[in-house]
Amino acid sequence: MAKTEIKFTKQKLIQSSQFSQIEKDILTAILSDGEYTIKACFEEIKKFKESKVSE
């Protein structure tokens, strides 16, 4: 049986204690309204940080 990943709204994610304040700020800036998995959020944060390092 396939494992279903739980999805969270942007609002719930930025209120989560799973992310640091900087990560919450990044999520606030890059996520549109919708639902996301925790894994997808960490991937988006990583992409954002990598793009800023290469600038």
For 13-42, write each residue's pLDDT tens digit.
999 999 999 999 999 999 999 999 999 999
Distances (CA, A) of 17 to 1, 21, 38, 51: 30, 9, 12, 25
24, exposed or middle or buried, with CB in 10 Å at 0-12, 13-18, 19+?
middle
Total-model pTM: 0.76
The whole-number pLDDT of residue 1 equals 58
The whole-number pLDDT of residue 52 equals 78
